[in-house]
Chains A and B, each alone.
Chain A
Amino acid sequence: MIRIYRQLLVAQIQAAAQYRIQAVLWMLFSIIRPVIFLAAWTAVSNAQGGSVGGYTTSDFAAYYIALTIVGHLTTAWNSFEFEFEVRQGRLSPKLLRPLHPLHYSVVENLIWKVTTFLPLMLVCAVIALTFQVKWSGEWWHLVLFVPSIVLAAALSFMIGWVVATATFWLQRINTVNTLLQRTSFIFAGQIAPLSLMPTALQVISYVLPFAYVLAIPAEILRGGVTIERGLLYLVGQAVWLTLAIVAYRFAWRAGLREYSAVGA
């Protein structure tokens, strides 16, 4: 398996080297929304005399820059790509290969994140300079952040695959994707840090998986949690990841039986 992955990695790096500009352009999608909400919250915070519900203007900056990084590192586009592949009949040849299609997208996903990480950090530095950012974390926040971001990226990736399998039944999953994205928009901490949400929405956020992908790693990276809380969050992430993997295995097997190969 390691040998296969090494080969896939080399191939994917070569492919990525051809589309450098494109990769950096797509990165903008990870950046724009957090910056927009950061600007808006800065305006709100200024109107309220420099702080809102325990968040100072520079806390907002730290949170949203963390959210940009987390959002970027947890991006997963499998559901869009998979739908396209099924519709175009490109899935069938992939199924004939001895390696599960999931592994190809793991590598694609990883390489894209690795190759765009440096430009992303540059942009984040510019944002940090524009807004007065202040990092209020300890060293152990960074230590906690490492497993947290890995779990978050894996969770987001697996959610993407669960949604992707819906293509077996529905052919077009635009609406499913929109539904998911908008739910994530509300409950993943994109509009506001979770503690600034109305209580009812906060409870829902902690139950649904979306905050475990975005808000929670971002809050850890910002340095906004105690150790106990941070560990508890990691457990929550692990639980959701397990659920997503189980759901995926189940859905994939059932879906393949449904699959009739468009264009075959």
Chain B
Amino acid sequence: MKMPALEVTQLTKHYQGGSGRVTALEAVSFTLEGGRLLGVLGPSGSGKTTLLSIIAGLLRPSSGEVKLGGSAVHLRSAREAAAFRRGHVGLVFQDHHLVPYLSALDNLLLVPHLRGHVGDADRQHASRLLAEFGLEQRAHHKPAELSGGERQRVAIARALMNSPEIMLVDEPTSNLDTERGQQVLELLRDQVHRRGTTCVMVTHDPRMAAQADQTLRLVDGRVATNSAAS
């Protein structure tokens, strides 16, 4: 059996809310093989984004384990987690979070810049990605000059700049109409399969989740269904 790229075991996360302790995730366990797209589905408040944040090392779990390529993510310090994200994780935010005063090209180059150096190879890689995403004519446009779909494509291209081991994608189609949302999803799926990148995509849309290689349905912080188990 192929070794899973991502292993989540008995993951639990509690928050201290105004009305006492809130359980965002409880005993969540699943595995994901490398080069596959996992769709995490669930209603608002089901713990989808908390799960994504813990896998990214942005939050620490209350208990449980997250292993990426066999390495424990949940044990990393904030500094180690930041360094890991710079080198190995591709993040796509719901609101794209492109830097508004940077062009599409510079938004991609931000990733190697955060690693400390932007070389010619990085520039060529960024230009190639923009071309692959049909954005070569928009390379020097700022986010405000791009359409919603273009912005989300730039965000996905940025997430691929560091050739990540895993892509973590948060509601990539929520701000797009159905047609553009479908285009973005197909682009994402195509990139994941062609590059062999493991991807976790959070969505509230069952039609989008259904197009993933594997789906995980969360309800009230627990795994309701896991397509890999069925």
Q: Do A and B bind each other?
A: no
The interface of chain A, by Cβ under 8 A from chain B, is none
